[in-house]
Amino acid sequence: MNAHAPEAAFRPQPNVEAFDVLCDPVRRRLLELLAGGERTSGEMTVVVQAEFGISQSAVSQHLKVLRDGGFATVRADGAKRFYAVAAGPLSAVDAWMAQFRGFWAPRPAASLVVVEMSREKKKRPPPEAIPVCDGQLEMF
C-alpha cells in the first residue's frame, strides 16, 4: 500500500496480470469451457480450433498462460491432461468488480417504476374501446 495514501482509499485489487490473462478471447473461451467442469486439453483444443482457427500448439500456449496465471490447474492421467478452473484469481477479480455492480444490478426503485407503469397500463381502456381516426383531419 502507498504510504502517502489514506487508509480509507485502499481497495483490494487483483493482480494486474489477471486482466492480462482475461483480455484474450481464446483464454476467456477456455475458461468458459472449464466452468462446465474438468476437461481434457484435447477436448478444449477441438472446440477452440473450430471456433478460432488456431493451431494445437497455440491452444497449448493459451492453456499454459492460464496455468501460470493461476486460473487453471492441470492433472495428468496417463497420456491425458485434465484441466480445471482455479478460483483464486477469479475470486480476486470478482471482489474488485463488486464496486461496479451497482451500475448494472437491478435497483429496487427502478423495479417500483416498472410495477407502477404496469399498473397504469392495466388501467387503460382496451384497444377496441379507443376511437379510431377515420382519416379526416381538421385544419386549424
pLDDT of residue 123: 58
pLDDT at 91: 86
Please tell me the predicted confidence (pLDDT) of residue 16: 61
Helix pair 25-35, 56-68: axis angle to 10 deg: 70
Q: At what angle do helices 41-52 and 56-68 cross, to 10 degrees?
A: 120
Q: Give the chain's domains with CATH numbers.
A: 1-124 (1.10.10.10)
Instruction: Report if pTM > 0.95.
Output: no
Dihedral sign for Cα 70, 25, 102, 120, please.
Answer: negative
pLDDT in 10s for each residue of the chain, 140 residues: 444 444 444 344 556 678 889 999 999 999 999 999 999 999 999 999 999 999 999 999 999 999 999 999 999 999 999 999 998 888 888 888 888 888 876 666 555 556 666 666 555 555 555 444 444 444 44
- What is the C-alpha separation between 28 and 68, in angstroms, rounded? 15
Whether 66 and 90 have beta carbons less than 8 Å apart is answered as no
What CA–CA distances, in Å, run from 24 to 4, 108, 118?
A: 35, 35, 42
Q: Which residues pair with 80 in a beta bridge?
A: 77
